[in-house]
Chains A and B, each alone.
Chain A
Amino acid sequence: MEDIIYKILGAILTIITAFVVGITYGGLTRKVIARVQNRVGPKFYQNFFDVLKLLSKRTAINHGVMQHFAPMFIFTSAVTVLMFIPILHDGLFFSNFSFHGDLIFLLYIMPFGPLGMALGAGQTGNPNSAIGVTRGLSQMVGFEIPFVLSLVALMVQFETTSVTEIVNIQVESGVWMIFSNPFAFLAALFAMFGMFRYAPFDIVGAPAELASGPASEFGGKYLAIMMSSSSIFTFAKLVLYVNLFFGGAENLVELLIKTFILYMVPVVYGLVSPRYRTEQSITYFWKWPLALGVIGMIWAII
């Protein structure tokens, strides 16, 4: 009985933490971008206002059933992914529902949100949405391959499919995964550039080109749900990366420092980059990241 209560409390706590941290990171990103562009920039808690305002808008857009479901799809997938990642190493509250095969499960469930979004955005009938969706799915084909290769390399190297297990191995041996399999890490890092969709891989939202792509017909509450779920998803992915490659985290402060540093890598890289075209982006992922993933695989086997 106590177990269940802990699980439920932990789940609620995890979602709230992920939401708050993800939204704050979004605001900090805006601040960093503004500082680089020599502006003052918004307050770092600006995104909270945005979400609150979007929630308070009266929304009356109707394009069909899937359009109403799409934001729910992304939200569900973001929360599901979050639930199967152990947030803290040895945490009482934060281990959530991670089980022995969760790495494989995560590989399957992570594209679920974008796919649901694709259905919804397709139904809105906006040409920008359709183009955005095609671009997004093609790009996903691009970065999923190095990502899967690097995760499989980890699974082969340590003969486990559990995230908790991988964290334990790193903590016990004291060697982080970026040192014990650097090539897998590099492949996953490049895949992360594609996942977070900052420039040069922002071909889906494509500001000033596609009018925010798949989201272009979603306003008000839907946009709020999409914003918060993408923040949760961002946090979940960051935690997964920290768990896999940076030896997890003992407490929240350590976790925040590690995730923030990791998050700034695509952001800062994006600040100095223009945008790729779709085919350039895909071939980018199929060159070096793919090669690095294969090398990581070979490294894991020998």
Chain B
Amino acid sequence: MNIVKDKKSQHIVDYIKEFARKNSLFVMAYGTGCGAIEIPPTMTSRYDAERFGIRGAATPRQADVLLITGYLAVKTLKRVIRVYEQMQDPKYIIAFGSCTINGGMYFDSYNTINALDRYVPVDVYINGCMPRPEAVIEGFVALQEKIQRGDADNGKKYQENIDWYRENQMKVIKNWNMPDYNW
């Protein structure tokens, strides 16, 4: 959205916006797999992610970042998609652990998905099985850099390529009975 007509002033507005977005990330931690156990130490005294302006959000409506922490069963994927579509733009996804990248140790399981990127757009991957809190914080910093560069608007990408994503989603989710969202 362009607030001002002038290109140079728009640049300044964008810079301020991105600076604010970068420094205040509300996290919706979706604890799917075993990786969820690393979130409490990241948030509490030892590693204290609040230093970077990272803060837990209670509901998807208030959140900016969706943390997907590990393998996704097909049933869970459905909920993840719902949560993701309820979030407000701009929104980011951080995927956690090897399971989200290529299936990890569950690559041949009958009911987990292998590559999360085919179903929802992922901004930052943190690899490891499971990643330590330091790695998680590094992932957040990588996301912040990406936001400051201005190429982290994956919500838009999702809207533009919704057909492709829907097709993939419907391939794995057999009982598709999701409401339509007006995001």
Contacts and interface: CB of A to CB of B under 8 A. Distances in A.
A221 to B, nearest CB: 9
B51 A223 contact: no
B61 A60 contact: no
B59 A49 contact: no
Interface of A: 30, 34, 37-43, 46, 49-50, 52-53, 56-62, 128, 207, 211-212, 215-220, 223
B175 interface: no
Given A211-B58, A217-B59, 5 more contacts: A40-B50, A53-B17, A53-B24, A215-B58, A219-B62
Interface residues of B, number: 28
A38 B48 CA distance: 9
Contact of B24 (A38, A41, A46, A218): A46
Among B50, B51, B64, the one with the most A-chain Cβ atoms within 10 Å of its Cβ is B50
7 contacts: A42-B53, A53-B23, A60-B88, A207-B58, A216-B58, A217-B61, A219-B62
Contact of B88 (A34, A39, A42, A219): A219
Interface string B167-183: 00000000000000011
B50 A41 contact: yes
B20 A57 contact: no
B53 A216 contact: no
A220 B88 contact: yes
Nearest to A58: B89
B45 interface: yes
Given A37-B45, A41-B50, A53 B21 contact: yes
Contacts of B182: 60-62
Contacts of A34: 48, 50
In the complex, the 6 A-B pairs of residues with the closest C-beta atoms, listed nearest first: A219-B61, A212-B58, A52-B20, A211-B58, A53-B20, A58-B89
Interface string B154-171: 000000000000000000
A38 B19 CA distance: 28
Given A212-B58, A216-B59, A219-B62, A41 B20 contact: no
B90 interface: yes
A211 B59 contact: yes
B1 interface: yes
